[in-house]
Structure 1
């Protein structure tokens, strides 16, 4: 598997769609006093400091001015909480939580217990998670706002009792988890930098869905064509004024034993696209 560093790409147009849909799904699965296993095959760092000329400028940066219209969606509300601004100041975004931290923040809001099993092959990512879990600060240059929840009892605790980081291959790691853990929520999110990743992602997707998991699989698309999958959620970036490298868009393929969840996801996706397109 090729080396991939997400720091320059955090908050890009693909991240926006992926994390928006992920949090909509999690918002349905996380209920007060419930518990959920969350697994991610390629997790990246806990947080990212957004720097000038990063890919975020043509991703979340393009949508950020419409933030007041989007706070009904948990993804945007959590991003707003992570990037507070004075009422008289322009909206600014400096810090981008990764997918696992976005889920942890949502679980805290929902007063639900979340057990995370997350993988990455990069030792630098492991070091960032160790710093975050041991010391309660991000290590990526993002400011912390408000009180830390590390070490405190109760829902949403961010420590090694709730988050297990594994340095290694996320495909085989998640496959093993499917055999021993109760069905939960799985995000398959490889960088697709090496041959065989697409096939491995498809195999993991099929096994997870057959095992009763709710599973999302993300990928970029160089060209947008009609999908053969009825539960695929595509985004043409230009539809809402986004842009990313040579990709025309991205797509999330979803499966869940909760059929109402996918109908809900479709409605929420349409609502977000309508607001975003109207505010361009």
Structure 2
């Protein structure tokens, strides 16, 4: 199924959770000169305009990134500053551009996106970045591309969860990559819904003893997603503190 387009949800509360943690982890991984590899399985278009028709239709950024202040000098703040200097003050970077903004010449980026329209937009957004952009199935491509070199790395698995079996598939993919590429941290994002289907994902990742971060926020119109979760296998040293910093930055967005 190729119907999901993140432009309707860019900058929402789940993005604040996912992107703030991602930025903190990337900063953590790049403290040393040694190169790192970044792999993303469901990359989206990489760059969004919060004044676009899609973003305005849902207004989700108003309850997410628009509520956050004091980002100067933080990893996510640095990424936002760099992207907005190039694309304008209403630009919002997806995870591919956050990674590209924070990684260095010695680092590598590989991105996958199957949706034809999203893939074309992603290629435009990443032009000149040096990132390898693949129009291929995430579950096939991630196995084919791993392990990457440099061996130290970070993988983001972020499917749209349009199908019920995606929770189990995402967990299986995470564990497969972990066994193929044990030097990499593998971060899986998942929505928290009343149905509680994310329990299947966490159960499927249990062998990897993931570090789990969950936040809650008011569901839009009283229904739908009520929280955001991240499960990280092979989290780098200092990840606990990095996640705490990320959640503190986005504190106004999340319910205590």
TM-score, with structure 2 as normaliser: 0.79
Match of 1:35, SS state, is coil
Please say if 1:116 is aligned against 2:109.
yes
Q: Which runs of 5+ in 2 are unaligned?
A: 204-208
Larger radius of gyration: 1
Cα deviation digits, residues 24-68 of structure 1 (max 9, x gap)? 1110111364321110010011211112343212211222xx2xx
Tell me the equivalent position of 2:238: 261
Please say if 1:60 is aligned against 2:65.
yes
Tell me the equivalent position of 1:214: 185
Asked if the contact 2:2/2:114 (under 8 Å) is kept, the reply is no
Q: 1:133 to 1:19 in 2, by over 3 A?
A: closer
Tell me the equivalent position of 1:155: none
What is the Cα deviation at residue 73 of structure 1?
2.4
Asked if the contact 1:2/1:193 (under 8 Å) is kept, the reply is no
Please say if 1:173 is aligned against 2:141.
yes
Match of 1:7, SS state, is helix
- Structure 2 distance, partners of 1:271, 1:57, is 18
Tell me the equivalent position of 1:40: 40
What is the Cα deviation at residue 270 of structure 1?
5.2
What is the Cα deviation at residue 265 of structure 1?
2.5
Tell me the equivalent position of 2:206: none
Match of 1:71, SS state, is coil
What is the Cα deviation at residue 93 of structure 1?
5.0
Tell me the equivalent position of 1:192: 161
What is the Cα deviation at residue 133 of structure 1?
4.7
Task: Say what the alpha-carbon RMSD is for the aligned residues.
Answer: 3.0
Q: 1:96 to 1:199 in 2, by over 3 A?
A: same
What is the Cα deviation at residue 262 of structure 1?
2.4
What is the Cα deviation at residue 179 of structure 1?
4.5
Q: Which runs of 5+ in 1 are unaligned?
A: 85-91, 135-149, 151-157
Match of 1:48, SS state, is strand
- Where do 1:78-157 residues align within 5 Å? 78-83=79-84, 93-107=89-103, 111-134=104-127, 150=128
- Structure 2 distance, partners of 1:277, 1:198, is 25
Size of the aligned set, in residue pairs, is: 235
Q: 1:168 to 1:79 in 2, by over 3 A?
A: same
- Structure 1 distance, partners of 2:240, 2:121, is 37
What is the Cα deviation at residue 196 of structure 1?
2.2
Match of 2:111, SS state, is strand
What is the Cα deviation at residue 273 of structure 1?
5.3
Asked if the contact 1:235/1:249 (under 8 Å) is kept, the reply is yes
Please say if 1:164 is aligned against 2:132.
yes
Asked if the contact 1:32/1:112 (under 8 Å) is kept, the reply is no
Please say if 1:246 is aligned against 2:224.
yes
